[in-house]
């Protein structure tokens, strides 16, 4: 799909991978709406790149539906959805203070996995009613999983489970939505220069980068965005989870 002139939704687009993706879509001529729980930051980010921002909690059905309605009013129905919204955090199943609070596990699953599915179901429902474009394509959905989905480390049980759910969701969603000409894909990033990693000391970041076979550095958000743009463009890419990790394989710790 050529994104020029098409409406696009980027969740978690206020910063990091989402902001880089929104910027790439704007540069390609898409009408971009950033949906993010951080209203102030997303407004500033959107204004700087020529996009629109709408507050949204992806894990809440009403909030997501309202934000999509506002985006539709501004740009028309979206043909492109990129799910970048998510949270991290490390916690052991059994730590020094006892078992992990169930609420902590539940929140990670709710934001990362349920939030991704929530946006997917809402956007796909509208996409299915739109007239097809060339090659009978109606739209494309790209979600963000993680290499932790496959090699979750100690302390990542909640995060790995949520990202593993997104990876497992991709193929059945692609198979189901194929009847409407909707493609579904996911990217599994490794270690990237995001606000979360940016909070770590420089020496810690350097140590993490040394674990990557090649290139021996943290991934750049623009590299993630370029893969999203290729997925949007390449009609034969469907139902696939693509690792973007420099051949990194995480150890237990």
The predicted-structure confidence for 105-151, as pLDDT tens digits, reads as follows 999 999 999 999 999 999 999 999 999 998 999 999 999 999 999 99
**Looking at residue 206, what is its pLDDT?**
84
**Looking at residue 208, what is its pLDDT?**
84
In a domain, residue 213? The reply is: no
pLDDT tens sequence across 39-71: 999 999 999 999 999 999 999 999 999 999 999
Here the CATH number for the domain that contains residue 114 is 3.40.50.720
Cα–Cα distance between 239 and 245 in angstroms, integer? Answer: 19
Decide: residue 201, CB within 10 A, 0-12 exposed, 13-18 middle, 19+ buried.
exposed
Residue 196 reports pLDDT greater than 80: no
Predicted confidence band of residue 192 (pLDDT cuts 50, 70, 90): very high
**Looking at residue 241, what is its pLDDT?**
98
In a domain, residue 94? The reply is: yes
Residue 169 reports pLDDT greater than 90: yes
Residue with tokens 């979206």: 78
In a domain, residue 102? The reply is: yes
Instruction: List CB contacts of 249: < 8 A, sequence separation 6 or more.
Output: 147, 151
**Looking at residue 203, what is its pLDDT?**
81
**Looking at residue 183, what is its pLDDT?**
98
Cα–Cα distance between 164 and 182 in angstroms, integer? Answer: 22
What is the percent of the chain with per-residue pLDDT over 70, rounded to a whole number?
A: 99
Residue with tokens 């949007």: 232
User: Which residue, 222, 232, 199, 242, is CA-closest to 19?
Assistant: 222
In contact, 59 and 120? CB cutoff 8 Å:
no
Rg (CA), the chain: 18
In a domain, residue 215? The reply is: no
Residue 2 reports pLDDT greater than 90: yes
Higher pLDDT, 201 or 190: 190
Cα–Cα distance between 59 and 74 in angstroms, integer? Answer: 22
Give 228's strand partners.
none
Report the first-to-last Cα separation within the chain, whole angstroms: 40
For residue 151, the enclosing domain spans 7-192+221-242
Strand 98-99 to 94-95 pairing: antiparallel
In a domain, residue 182? The reply is: yes
In a domain, residue 85? The reply is: yes
Cα–Cα distance between 28 and 82 in angstroms, integer? Answer: 15
Residue 198 reports pLDDT greater than 80: no
**Looking at residue 197, what is its pLDDT?**
77
Residue 204 reports pLDDT greater than 80: no
When divided into structural domains, the chain yields a total of 1
What is the percent of the chain with per-residue pLDDT over 90, rounded to a whole number?
A: 90
Cα–Cα distance between 79 and 84 in angstroms, integer? Answer: 16
In a domain, residue 17? The reply is: yes
Q: Which of 159, 163, 183, 189 is catalytic?
A: 159
Residue 1 bears catalytic tag:
no
Cα–Cα distance between 146 and 80 in angstroms, integer? Answer: 21
**Mean pLDDT taken over the chain:** 96
In contact, 235 and 1? CB cutoff 8 Å:
yes
In a domain, residue 28? The reply is: yes
């Amino acid at each position: 799909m050529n994104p020029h002139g098409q409406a696009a939704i980027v969740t978690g687009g206020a910063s990091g991978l989402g902001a880089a993706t929104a910027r790439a879509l704007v540069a390609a001529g898409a009408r971009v709406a950033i949906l993010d729980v951080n209203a102030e930051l997303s407004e500033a980010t959107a204004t700087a790149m020529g996009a629109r921002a709408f507050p949204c909690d992806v894990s809440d059905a009403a909030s997501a539906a309202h934000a999509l309605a506002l985006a539709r009013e501004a740009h028309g129905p979206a043909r492109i959805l990129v799910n970048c919204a998510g949270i991290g955090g490390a916690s052991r199943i059994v730590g020094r203070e006892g078992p992990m609070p169930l609420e902590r596990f539940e929140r990670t699953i709710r934001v990362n996995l349920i939030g991704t599915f929530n946006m997917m179901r809402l956007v796909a429902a509208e996409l299915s009613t739109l007239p097809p474009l060339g090659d009978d394509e109606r739209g494309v959905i790209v979600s963000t999983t993680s290499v932790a989905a496959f090699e979750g480390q100690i302390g990542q049980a909640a995060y790995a489970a949520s990202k593993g759910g997104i990876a497992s969701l991709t193929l059945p969603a692609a198979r189901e939505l194929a009847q409407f000409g909707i493609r579904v894909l996911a990217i599994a990033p490794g270690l990237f220069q995001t606000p979360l990693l940016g909070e770590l000391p420089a020496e810690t970041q350097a140590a993490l980068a040394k674990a990557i076979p090649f290139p021996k550095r943290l991934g750049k958000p623009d590299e993630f965005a370029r893969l999203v743009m290729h997925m949007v463009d390449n009609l034969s890419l469907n139902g696939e989870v693509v690792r973007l990790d420099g051949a990194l394989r995480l150890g237990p710790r």
